[in-house]
Amino acid sequence: MQPIEEVSQDTMAFVVAPGGALRGRLRVPGDKSISHRAIILGALAEGITQITGFLEGEDTLATLQAFRDLGVSIEGPEGGRVKIHGVGLQGLRAPEEPLYLGNSGTSVRLLAGLFAGQSFDVILRGDESLSRRPMRRVCDPLARMGAFIETTAQGTPPLHIHGGQSLYGIEYAMPMASAQVKSSLLLAGLYASGRTCVVEPAPTRDHSERMLAGFGYPVEREGAKVCIQGGGTLHGTVVEIPADISSAAFFMVGAAIGKGSDVLLEHVGINPTRTGIIDILRRMGAEIEIKETGVVGGEPVAAIRVRASRLHGINIPEDLVPLAIDEFPALFIAAACAEGETVLAGAGELRVKESDRIQVMADGLQALGISAQPTADGIIIQGGELQGGEVHSHGDHRCAMAFAMASLVAKGPIIIRDCANVATSFPGFLELACGAGLAIRHGK
């Protein structure tokens, strides 16, 4: 028998042999942001909500479990299908224990807003990474609405949300472009007296606004401002969730850099607040075709074809940063393979994601022989020849998957440490990548 340490190391690391090409028609799992929101709104609605395409990843399953713990009856998930018996805005029950939300920042921030308006107390906890993430960005404006939420002295989870507070609507100008903060306040706004308005400094993903409308709840949008009136009703509905462009991003970058690659990513959500990856890769010279366009559940979808091409470095326009915020680990790999220099600025948010993505990616790229200079709010990458080597993902799913794609052009094998959290957003990544042509396996 293998010693336990070795067994656990086996499943934590990815070993990727160099070379290969990505080919074929691929469908990546359902959108993470939309999956969280479908569970939340489905639970709060009157009547039944039927979801298809739900992401069965650890993060969204944490949200699903939280609502079961609050007394909501949920069938599934089975093959991406979930049936929620909504309890209405006033129908949630006090959980018996603190809710554990694993690695999921979206769960804790959105639920903080929702639970601020309940009659009972809730404690939200998470893993080591989540326990380091800043929560004042939601707790401060929620306190202005009348919420009573305690954090650690550092403003991190666990959060103790005290029930029985009266919330009132405010107008809040967000200091950072954050869809999580916006959504948290809108959910609190469902319980507030009067109107809750959020003004964003730059457009961020608008899935909450679209889905609230889909559940029959009026949302007013005027330029950078979105407002909601408390005291309405959500009506159960059907939600069809498209494939996640943030998961497709790894294959888009892999296909762009891997010689001879040609992939078609099916039924991907191309909401304009999420398509920064397409714009940035195109500016770098990638050949990307958008086909088979349509709309499902109020969200635009398309098939995205990407073929290998010669990439060149660019200055990434700052207005594209919030529209590609989760795709930078993958984009840094593209930059490492591009001719010349790529400069990113205005992306300090990357330092407070599941890991400090600027540092983790810079360290990994340097270990693979690439000049990658972190700055306070970005990075400067000189394209070059990627070598094999060992890199550490620091438990960050997106860094792990990004480094895996680097192997397509690396001169030697890449060992990626600490990859278990890939399951938070992309169950089946290894199998899908392997089937598409990446020589990836679990290893030690």
Annotated active-site positions, please? 326
Structure tokens at 360: 């983790």
Structure tokens at 436: 């598409």
To which H or E segment does residue 229 belong? Answer: strand 225-229
Using the rule CB under 6 A, is 63 a contact of ligand S3P? no
Using the rule CB under 6 A, is 198 a contact of ligand S3P? no
Binding to ligand S3P (CB under 6 A): which residues in 334-363?
Answer: 349
Residue 178 beta carbon to ligand S3P: minimum distance, rounded to whole angstroms: 4
**From 183, 275, 342, 407, residue interacting with ligand S3P (rule: CB under 6 A):** 183
Using the rule CB under 6 A, is 325 a contact of ligand S3P? yes
Using the rule CB under 6 A, is 226 a contact of ligand S3P? no
Structure tokens at 364: 């990994």
> What CA–CA distances, in Å, run from 318 to 191, 225, 343?
35, 20, 10
Cβ-based nearer residue to ligand S3P, 99 or 179 = 179
Q: What angle do CA 47, 167, 352 make, to 5 degrees?
A: 90
Residue 340 beta carbon to ligand S3P: minimum distance, rounded to whole angstroms: 28
- Cα–Cα nearest to 275, from 324, 236, 345: 324
**From 49, 60, 107, 178, residue interacting with ligand S3P (rule: CB under 6 A):** 178
Using the rule CB under 6 A, is 326 a contact of ligand S3P? yes
**From 179, 211, 308, 404, residue interacting with ligand S3P (rule: CB under 6 A):** 179
Using the rule CB under 6 A, is 140 a contact of ligand S3P? no
Taking the C-alpha atoms of residue 334 and residue 83, their distance in angstroms, rounded to an integer, is: 39
Segment near ligand S3P (CB under 6 A); pick from 83-91, 174-182, 194-202, 233-241? 174-182
Query: If you compute the radius of gyration of the chain from its CA atoms, what whole number of angstroms results?
Result: 21
Using the rule CB under 6 A, is 66 a contact of ligand S3P? no
8 A C-beta contact, residue 414 and residue 336: no
Taking the C-alpha atoms of residue 349 and residue 122, their distance in angstroms, rounded to an integer, is: 27
**From 205, 305, 394, 417, residue interacting with ligand S3P (rule: CB under 6 A):** 205
Using the rule CB under 6 A, is 103 a contact of ligand S3P? no
Structure tokens at 175: 């200091």
